[in-house]
Structure 1
Amino acid sequence: MLLWAGLVGLSFPAVGLMSELPPLSLTALRFAIACAGLWWLARRSPAFLPGWRALPLYGLMGLCLAGFFGAMFWAAHHATALSMATLYVTVPLLAFLLGLGFGVERLAWRLPAILGLGAAGALGLAFAESLGAPEGFGLGSGEAVFFLGCVSSALYPVLSKWGLASGRLDESAAVRTFWSLGLGGVLIGLLGLAIEPVGRLAAMSRDDLLLLVYLGLFSSALTFWLMQRATAALTPGAVTAYGYLVPFVSMLLLFIESPQRIGWVWLPGSLLVLTAIALLLRNGRPPKPLP
């Protein structure tokens, strides 16, 4: 999950280098590239083709991916970046609460305390980045839609863990990643066809295509595969809590690009995030296999 956080953090600058193209259609293409990269690994599993019990669950997992990315792209035009970054801090706690409902989390004080510590650190980094920026936190329709997307994002590892615990999903992380990304890509693609000018994809340059391939293979295929691998060993709340490292990685990249922005204001949030991750590495695994 440390590698996952690094890859996700590096994906944001890559996305920023791309031309302005239909985002939902780009995401569908990105997921298609990811599935193509995972095909050879997933195909090796004897349970590659999902059974009747697994297919609806993969559909729900794909709907979670479609819901999150769809909400994120829509909210990007109706909410501030600071508001979205602040709301995304709720994902680990939402995953923990949803996990309790599905019986894949244990009711204890330690993990919620670590999640609260990491959330405070992530909020501190968001505050440091917002200093001097004209935008602020707001509560409107954009924020409401993005919060629903956060719920979808939190539900994804919960469904994965529940599917594994109930025997509905294959033990292969590649198979779970392949089918959830595949069905999620189909749903996002259909939404893109309905509301986006798909013809603008013809303006994609060679550099855009290379970046899209990179994002598909590393920021989608590899990151979701790593998440599925971690889901087998960790609880949903612990898995999603590593997302607190993403703004820390973004901060390091910002310092490389603009070293003059280095200041003490970044220190409290950084220390809280690093402390939370250290506690997760020590206490993130469940004490014994979940039933």
Structure 2
Amino acid sequence: MNDRQSARAAHLGMMLWAVLVGLSFPAVGAMSELPPLSLTSLRFLIACAGLWWLVRRSPTFLPGWRELPLYALMGLCLAGFFGAMFWAAHHATALSMATLFVTVPLLAFLLGLGFGVERLAWRLPAILALGAAGALGLAIAESLEQGGRLRFGMGEAVFFLGCFATALYPVLSKWGLATGRLPASAAVRTFWSLGLGAVLVGFAGLALEPMGRLAAMTGRDLLVLVYLGLFSSALTFWLLQRATAVLTPSAVTAYSYLVPFVSMLLLFVREPGRVGWAWLPGSLMVIAAILLLLRDTPSTPAR
């Protein structure tokens, strides 16, 4: 497979990633109210259990002294994002969080420049800005329907730090690959970053959440958690790691713009009367941005 074919496969994989992430929100909504940090830790551990069968015989499975600190930092990025998201959910509006999340690809681009894994050019930032505008338009369309409002306070500030952490995750992955600090196996990278992320999020859950609430988990909750662990964690992070080997961090994270579009399509299927013309401009901009990414297929600059 040549470089262009690999880039196309990475783009298609990230489209599947966006669909899986978009489908995960209704699944989470079907669960009982349980400690979110502890659930995230369990979800990551289930993902690692699913990945174990892929990575256990890999010659690069056990991390060396150069890899382990980087995996720990990547796990800290995951813990930072999910911890910030769950805390901010009680202190920030949904519209404010959705608006801040559109900064992730641009943050990844700027961080990638600092780590030497992005090219300094105008086309990619312009595409990212177009996608951000479209995703923001979809967020505003949803807020108009729900009566939300935009603001910036402590909750938004904490969530922005979480956005910074999640933007750093693919940058560290790309930098680790470019410098030979991480193995070529996407499954191995996914396993260790999720595993260390599970430990860190789990410690946060132990410190902040009442463990007794987990006893209220039903059989349905457990089935949904297994689904989220295998498909919305193991598979999605594997797709992200696979794409990171071919595309730049900002191009990978740009597919987060498709997630609200997927959510809009699900809403249209369930309740078509709730999707009006206000959703159209944002949808068209997101689609245009993804098509431009597919055409450009940006990859890592030579070091």
Give the alignment's TM-score, normalised by structure 1. Answer: 0.98
Q: Deviations over 1:169-222 (max 9, x none)?
A: 010000000000000000000010011001110110000000000000000000
**Aligned counterparts of 2:283 and 2:242: Cα–Cα separation in 1:** 27
Q: Pick the aligned partner of 1:68 from 54, 60, 81.
A: 81
What residue is the counterpart of 1:139 in the other structure? 152
Are residue 290 (structure 1) and residue 302 (structure 2) matched?
yes
- Please name the residue that 2:265 is paired with: 252
Residues of 2 paired with 1:42 and 1:83: CA distance?
39
Q: Tell me which stretches of 4 or more aligned residues in structure 1 moved more than 6 Å.
A: none
SS of the residue corresponding to residue 8 of structure 1 reads helix
Q: Deviations over 1:14-68 (max 9, x none)?
A: 0000000000000000000000000011123101000000000000000000000
How far 1:282 moved relative to its partner? 1.0
| Cα contact 1:111–1:284 (8 A) shared by 2 | no
Give the letter aligned to residue 263 of structure 2: S
Identity %: 80
CA distance in 2, matches of 1:174, 1:121: 32
Give the partner amino acid of 2:215: A
Tell whether the 8 Å contact from 1:54 to 1:168 is kept in structure 2 after alignment. yes
| Residue 280 (str. 1) matches residue 293 (str. 2) | yes
AA aligned opposite 2:261: F
Q: CA deviation at 1:262?
A: 2.5
Residue 290 of structure 1 and its aligned partner are, at CA, apart by 2.7
Aligned residue number for residue 193 of structure 1: 206
> Shift of residue 289 of structure 1?
5.2
| 1:269 aligned partner | 282
Distance of 1:87 and 1:289 partners within structure 2 = 28
Residue 247 of structure 2, aligned match among 227, 231, 234: 234
2:118 and 2:301 in contact (8 A); partners too = no
Name the residue aligned to 2:193.
180
Q: d(CA) in 2 for partners of 1:177 and 1:67?
A: 17
1:86 aligns with 2:102: no
Q: 1:149-185: CA deviations, max 9, x gaps? A: 0000000000000000000001000000000000000
Mapping for residues 35-114 of structure 1, pairs under 5 Å: 35-114=48-127
Taking the aligned partners of 1:290 and 1:222, their CA distance within structure 2 comes to 28
Quick one: structure 1 residues 87 and 289, their matched pair in 2 at CA, closer, same or farther if it must change by over 3 Å? closer
Q: Which amino acid aligns with 1:190?
A: F
| 1:164 and 2:177 correspond | yes
Change (3 A) 1:134 1:263: closer
Over 3 Å counting, the alpha-carbon distance change for 1:289 and 1:43 in structure 2 is farther
Q: For each residue in 1:70-120, what CA deviation from the matched residue of structure 2 results, as whole angstroms up to 9, or x when unmatched?
A: 000000000011110000000000000000000000100010000000001
SS of residue in 1 equivalent to 2:60: coil
Cα contact 1:24–1:73 (8 A) shared by 2: yes
TM-score with structure 2 setting the length? 0.94
Asked whether the equivalents of residues 134 and 281 of structure 2 are also in contact (C-alpha less than 8 Å), the reply is yes
Paired AA for residue 290 in structure 1: A
Q: Which runs of 5+ in 2 are unaligned?
A: 1-13
Structure 1 unaligned residues grouped into runs of 5+: none
Q: Report how many residues are paired.
A: 290
CA–CA distance in 2 between the matches of 1:252 and 1:211?
Answer: 21
The reply on whether 1:25 has 2:38 as its aligned counterpart is yes
More displaced, 262-271 or 230-239?
262-271
| Matched-pair contact (CA < 8 Å) for 2:105–2:167 | yes
Provide the secondary structure at the position in 2 that maps to 1:79: coil
Check conservation: 2:47, 2:233, Cα contact below 8 A: yes
